[in-house]
Structure 1
């Protein structure tokens, strides 16, 4: 999935691409805005009781994932 938004002068305001890595169970949302790049990803960890969904972002300085928040989902 890719979404591009332009301002009224026709310049690219921001571009968002969404990818899903089935092998590593990571869904990534990458947004490019101006000269900066913002990366966010949802990381899923599964077990027999449910899964943990973590929202993380990439620190552009050290390229490490920083956890923003997480939620638990339990199976019935």
Structure 2
């Protein structure tokens, strides 16, 4: 789960945007993760609500065999950055 926060932070840095996490929704741990596994996090923006300034993203973590280990929706609230 910690890797998913890292991915969202790095994506915001690359985009030059600032946001705070409103948290994760519908978190499901669908397969075990073992020491030595290779994990891949895929973070995909699904919807932007300009009125509320929120971004909803699908988060999927897979292991080296392609099995989904975690699925969730991450909600970010966009904020103005430092000037």
TM-score (norm 1): 0.31
TM-score of the superposed pair, with normalisation by structure 2: 0.30
- Which protein has greater RCO, CA pairs closer than 8 Å, 6+ apart? 2
Higher helix share: 2
Higher share in strand: 1
Who wins on radius of gyration, i.e. which is larger? 1
